[in-house]
């Protein structure tokens, strides 16, 4: 059984809802799944998982939340080589540029993503919810 970890930061609850959907998809696909907030997770914990999903909403001028999430993610990035990794998050404006930038940064670090990042405008609608579950299933598979 694969072990999947979902790590997120959420300001309004939208990205938290997405994290729960990603975990739901991983569990449905048979994975043992844990969920952590960004403040609860560190690089030391990454080695315990086969796959990790990271969720962060778009902040400011389309960037990652920079007080808790971005420092945690930078600390973990070096320990993700060889693992299945997925990204997700919500946004309230713009066109998802923060996700494209984040994906490129991860790929530039030599990490393979299981899919393009899953994004939702505000709260996840049915389509985004299904995409979140699909991300979880692909991490578990």
Q: Is 128 left (phi over 0), alpha (psi -120 to 50) or beta?
A: alpha
Q: Which of 18, 5, 17 is nearest to 73 (CA)?
A: 5
By the 8 A CB rule, do 52 and 107 touch?
A: no
By the 8 A CB rule, do 10 and 23 touch?
A: no
Q: How many CA atoms lie within 13 A of 98 on its CB side?
A: 25
6-22 pLDDT per residue, tens: 999 999 999 999 999 99
- Which pLDDT score, from 0 to 100, does residue 38 have? 97
- Which pLDDT score, from 0 to 100, does residue 94 have? 86
What confidence category does residue 1 fall into, taking pLDDT thresholds of 50, 70 and 90? confident
Q: Report pTM.
A: 0.97
66-85 pLDDT per residue, tens: 999 999 999 999 999 999 99
What confidence category does residue 60 fall into, taking pLDDT thresholds of 50, 70 and 90? confident
């Amino acid at each position: 059984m694969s072990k999947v970890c979902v790590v997120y930061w959420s300001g309004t609850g939208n990205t938290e809802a997405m994290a729960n959907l990603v975990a739901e998809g991983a569990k449905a696909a048979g994975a043992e799944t844990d969920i952590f907030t960004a403040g609860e997770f560190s690089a030391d914990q990454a080695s315990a998982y086969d796959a990790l999903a990271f969720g962060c909403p778009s902040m400011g001028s389309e960037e990652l939340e920079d007080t808790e999430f971005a420092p945690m993610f930078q600390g973990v990035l070096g320990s993700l080589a060889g693992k299945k990794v997925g990204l997700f998050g919500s946004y309230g404006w713009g066109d998802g540029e923060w996700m494209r930038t984040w994906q490129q940064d991860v790929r530039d670090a030599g990490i393979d993503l299981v899919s393009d990042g899953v994004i939702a405008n505000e709260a996840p609608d049915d389509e985004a919810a299904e995409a979140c579950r699909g991300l979880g299933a692909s991490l578990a598979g």
